[in-house]
């Protein structure tokens, strides 16, 4: 089973490399801007991980709240990645502006932190 997963990962990486080297829309500036956006997203995820591991209490009752807050945080970062990373085709308009997707992420973060804190 692990060999199948490894083969899928290798196939996806190979496919991505082929597209990067053959697609004329993907320039050196496009690649650098993409890498910068991914680094910022990675740092965003590290901040969320730091908060969950070092600032929130560790007990079995807090696990669900911590996971909910972390998922909301990562989803909020993914929205930023959708908005600011260079792309070859446009995402839906409702993802490009503050709206319901952001509110859902913020509610998930708030509910998770409130659950961990014992407020709800």
Mean pLDDT for the chain overall: 90
pLDDT at 45 over 90: yes
Spacing of C-alpha 16 from chain mean position: 19
Burial class (CB in 10 A: 0-12, 13-18, 19+), 101: middle
pLDDT of residue 31: 87
Helices (H), 2-99: 2-22, 28-50, 63-84
pLDDT at 36 over 90: yes
User: How far apart are alpha carbons 82 and 20 in whole angstroms?
Assistant: 19
SS3 state of residue 53? helix
Residue-wise pLDDT tens digits, 61-72: 888 889 999 999
Q: What are the angstrom distances between the C-alpha of 44 and each of 70, 81, 95, 115, 118? A: 11, 10, 19, 22, 25
What is the band of 51 on the pLDDT scale with cuts at 50, 70, 90? confident
Task: State pTM to two decimals.
Answer: 0.81
What is the band of 120 on the pLDDT scale with cuts at 50, 70, 90? confident
- Mean pLDDT over residues 57-64, rounded? 83
CA triple 21-25-30, angle to 5 deg: 85
Residues of the chain with pLDDT > 70, as a percent, come to 100
Question: Are the CB atoms for 20 and 26 separated by under 8 Å?
Answer: yes
């Amino acid at each position: 089973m692990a060999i199948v997963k490894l083969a899928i990962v290798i196939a996806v990486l190979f496919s991505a490399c082929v597209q990067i080297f053959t697609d004329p829309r993907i320039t050196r500036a496009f690649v650098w801007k993409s890498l910068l956006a991914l680094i910022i997203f990675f740092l965003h995820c590290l901040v969320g991980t730091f908060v969950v591991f070092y600032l929130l209490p560790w007990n079995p009752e807090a696990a669900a709240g911590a996971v909910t807050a972390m998922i909301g945080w990562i989803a909020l970062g993914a929205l930023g990645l959708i908005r600011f990373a260079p792309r070859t085709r446009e995402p839906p308009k409702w993802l490009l502006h503050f709206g319901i997707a952001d509110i859902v992420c913020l509610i998930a973060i708030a509910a998770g932190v409130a659950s961990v804190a014992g407020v709800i």
